[in-house]
Structure formats: structure tokens, C-alpha cells
Amino acid sequence: MKRARMPQTLLLALLASAVVWAAPAANQRAGAAPAAATGVYAVTFNVIPGSAAAAGGVIACKAKIAPNLPAFRDMNRPVAPVESAPGVVAVAGPARAGSPVLCSVEIPFAWTVSDRSAGIWLSYEVDAVSGTGVTQAARSRQWIGIPYPVTGGTASVRLNVAF
């Protein structure tokens, strides 16, 4: 008797999971139309190199952004992350080793998303490189949530990094 109910229970579980998986797709079709998200993120790193970057070395910085897409949404329109060109600033003189230096990058982007209010994810890496080209230290961080700038505008982001 109990074996006869097992297929019925399994069928019910499959139907319930199908309803759960179909709900986001139905909401997406009934939701807002996709919107263009364009602009530039101007990221400035306030870096305190410490002893990691001796005189004659450089601080190299780069950042990457990607839209913060809700799970199981926009899967039919994948958006590739956008990476900045590396920024480089020299650490001059032994007195500069403990003084802050600014390393800046710009990340222009343009993509289509269905929810601009979700913002973007920012990830970065800052490297202290010796005068001989050897990386002495690196700092990185991922998944920093940031709102979109006004369409076509520039958003300034300032981050502090210490070695």
C-alpha cells in the first residue's frame, strides 16, 4: 500500500518544484522592460604602500565590474564583466614609502539589465611592485556592491588600501 503512494508523492514534489522554478520566469516576463545601463566608474585607490613598495617601485591597480543580477534572472542575456586598464603610480623616494599615493582607473560600461536598482559588483586588485618588477605584496577584494550612476554619467568611487 505504501509503495503505491510513492509515485504519487514523487509526482507532487515534481509539480511543486516546477511551480517554484516557473515563478521567477513568469515574473520576469511580466516585469519591467530591460533598460540600458551605461556610464563610467572612476575608481581612485588611496594606497598606503608601507614597506611593501620601496622607493623606485610602483603601485599597480585594476578593477572589474559586473551587474548584480538576481539568481535565475537575466540568464538568457548573460553580461560579461568589464575590466579596467591597469593604473600605475610610482613610489618615489624613501620618504614616500609610508605616505599615501593615489592610483586611478576608469571603467566605461554599457549593457542591458532588467533591474537597475540591483547595482553592480566591483572587484579590485592593488599590487606593490619593486623597482625590479617583482610583486612584493597584493591586496584584493571582491563583490563590493555599488549603485549605478545616472545613465551615461560618471560615478566616483574611492577606496582605501594599506599594505
**pLDDT at 4 (0 to 100):** 56
Q: Is pLDDT at 137 greater than 70 in this prediction? A: yes
pTM of the predicted protein model? 0.73
- Find out whether 140 and 125 touch, Cβ atoms under 8 Å: yes
Nearest to 108 by CA among 58, 63, 160: 63
For the beta sheet containing 101-113, the strands, ordered from the edge strand earlier in sequence to the opposite edge, are: 101-113, 35-48, 153-162
CA quadruple 24, 29, 33, 35: dihedral positive or negative?
A: positive
* pLDDT class of 127 with cuts at 50, 70, 90: very high
- 42 vs 116, higher pLDDT: 42
The amino acid at 2: K
The DSSP string of 49-101 is: -GGGS-TT-EEEEEEEEEE-PPTTSSTTS----EEPPPEEEE--SGGGGGS-E
Q: Is pLDDT at 75 greater than 70 in this prediction? A: no
Q: Give the residue-averaged pLDDT of 134-162.
A: 95
**pLDDT at 51 (0 to 100):** 77
Q: How many CB atoms lie within 10 A of CB 117?
A: 9
Integer distance in angstroms from the first to the last C-alpha of the chain? 69
Share of the chain above pLDDT 70, in %: 71
Structure confidence by residue, pLDDT tens digits, 140-153: 999 999 999 999 99
* pLDDT class of 155 with cuts at 50, 70, 90: very high
The DSSP letter of residue 139 is E
* Rounded Cα gap, residues 142 and 140, in angstroms: 7
**pLDDT at 73 (0 to 100):** 53
**pLDDT at 115 (0 to 100):** 83
* Rounded Cα gap, residues 86 and 83, in angstroms: 9
Average pLDDT, the chain: 80
- 60 vs 69, higher pLDDT: 60
**pLDDT at 2 (0 to 100):** 55
- Find out whether 120 and 43 touch, Cβ atoms under 8 Å: no
The least confident of 27-31, 99-103, 139-143 is 27-31
Q: Is pLDDT at 50 greater than 70 in this prediction? A: yes
